[in-house]
Structure 1
Amino acid sequence: MSYLLLFIVSILTCCGQLSQKVAAQRWQSHPESSRLRVTLYWLFLSALLLGVAMLVWLRVLQLLPLSVAYPMISLNFVLVTLCARYVFGEPTDKQHWIGIGLIMLGIFLMSRGL
Structure 2
Amino acid sequence: MSYLLLLMVCVLTCCGQLCQKMAVDRWQTLPESSRLSATLYWLLSGLVLLGLAMLIWLRVLQMLPLSVAYSTISFNFVMVTLCARYIFHEPTDKQHWIGIGLIIIGIFLMSCSL
Question: Same fold by TM (over 0.5)?
Answer: yes
The RMSD of aligned alpha carbons is 0.5
Structure 1 distance, partners of 2:2, 2:24, is: 33
Give the deviation of 1:34 after TM superposition: 1.1
Deviation readout 1:17-57 (Å, 9 max, x if unpaired): 00000000000011111111110000000000000000000
Q: What does residue range 1-114 of structure 1 map to in structure 2 within 5 Å?
A: 1-114=1-114
Could you tell me how far 1:95 is from its partner in structure 2?
A: 0.4
What's the % identity of the aligned pairs? 74
Give distance in 1, aligned partners of 2:85 and 2:33.
Answer: 31
Taking structure 2 as the reference length, the TM-score comes to: 0.99
1:67 shift after superposition: 1.0
Structure 2 unaligned runs (5+)? none
| Runs of 4 or more above 6 Å deviation | none
What TM-score do you get using the length of structure 1 for normalisation? 0.99
